[in-house]
Structures are given as C-alpha cells and as structure tokens.
Structure 1
Amino acid sequence: MIVVSTENIPGKDIGEALGIVRGSTVRSRNIGRDIFAGLKNIVGGEIEEYTKLLADSREQAMQRMVQDAEKLGADAVVNVRFTTSAVQQGSAEILAYGTAVKLK
C-alpha cells in the first residue's frame, strides 16, 4: 500500500477516489513514566519514553488507516494527515486520515 502526504503520487495516475479512510488509537501515560518525565522537566532534555509512546501510537493509527483502505480495495492513500486530541487528563487520541484511491 502506497501512503503519501501529497495529493498525487509521482509516476502514478489516480483513477478513482474511494473515500476518506481513518485509523486511530487512544493511549495513556503511566505513573512510572510520569515520575521520570517530571525529573526530566527539571533537568531538561528529551523525554524518550513519551517520544516512543507517541511514535508507536502514530504507527498503530497509520496501520489501522491502511486496513480501512484495504477494505475499500484501495491501492494507495493520499493526502495523509495526523491529528492529536486530548480524550481525558493523561490520555490522547492519535488519528491518521487520508483519501483512499485506486490507481490506473
């Protein structure tokens, strides 16, 4: 499955737009990470635990979006975007969305 953030795929012709596809995940922090993050906030630097949590969340959301596109028989997803929103204190939804297309 081709997944791009652009409206077009270089060297490919889009034959048909099949519709919007999406995938999401909701993740929460844990107390151990929060304690460590608090210490990092004092001394500065990257909070690697949160970086990994968010990277894993984006990957899972993208995989779910691709599964949604496969159900439609898509060859690719174009114009892919990610968004994040707070669900409740300490948890967030990561949403990946784009347009499923059939190539010529």
Structure 2
Amino acid sequence: MIITTTENIPGRNYEIIGLVNGNNIQSKNAFRDFTQGIRNFTGGELKAYTDMMIKSRNVATERMVEEANRLGADAIIMVRYNTSSIVENSSEVHCYGTAVKFI
C-alpha cells in the first residue's frame, strides 16, 4: 500500500475509490499525568505524551489502511492528520485520505 500526502503518484494512473478514515482516542493514566505534570515545572519534552501520540497516530494510520484494503485500493493519496481533545485527559488522532486503484 502506497501512502502519500501528495495528490499524484509519479508514473501511475489511477481511479478514485473514495475517502478512507482511521482514528484512535487515547487517554492518559493517572501516573503518567502526574509525572508529566512535574515535567511542566522543570521544562523539557513530555516524552510519555509524545510516545502516546506516536502510538495513536500509528493505530489511526493502520485503521485507515485496513479500510482502503477492504475497498481494494492500491494506494492512499492526500493523507492528512488531525488531532483534537475529546474529553478531559484524552486526545484523538484522525487520519484520512483518498483511496485509489491503479489502472
């Protein structure tokens, strides 16, 4: 599966299948929230949160690819990511793009 943020894949012709999505909502646990709160006072990267968001982005991407595979897609173009807060102490990563089939 080719995944790209570009509109075109050089040297390939394709037909559009449609929009595909994947999302993941992660929440913080109390221990992680406490230790990261301390980091806010001392400065520096909030590594536990960074790791949480990387994992969440990977899960969202996998879910988008699964949807594209179910539709018989060969690639996903124009891929974008959004993040948002759903409820207190949680974050959503939404991944979407256009599934295409090579012709």
TM range (shorter): over 0.9
Which TM-score applies when normalising by structure 2? 0.96
**1:44 CA drift (Å):** 0.5
Task: Give unpaired runs (5+ residues) of structure 2.
Answer: none
1:8-43 superposed Cα distances (whole Å, 9 cap, x missing partner): 1123222x1000000111110111111111111111
SS in 1 for 2:80: strand
Q: Which residue of the partner structure matches residue 4 of structure 2?
A: 4
Q: CA RMSD in A?
A: 0.8
- Superposition deviation, residue 86 in structure 1: 1.3
Moved more, 31-40 or 63-72: 31-40
Matched, 1:64 2:63: yes
CA distance in 1, matches of 2:83, 2:16: 25
Match for 1:7: what amino acid? E
The gaps in structure 1 that reach 5 residues or longer are none
TM-score by length of 1: 0.95
SS at 2:65 equivalent? helix
Query: In structure 2, what is the equivalent of residue 88 of structure 1?
Result: 87
Distance 1:47 1:95 in 2: 21
Structure-2 separation of matches of 1:89 and 1:29:
9
State the SS of the aligned residue for 1:88: coil
Aligned length: 103
Q: How does 1:27-66 map to 2 (within 5 A)?
A: 27-66=26-65
2:102 aligns to what? 103
Amino acid at match of 2:57: R
Q: 2:25 corresponds to which residue?
A: 26
Residues 45-82 of structure 1, C-alpha deviation per residue, up to 9 Å, x if partnerless?
A: 00110000000000000000000000110000000000
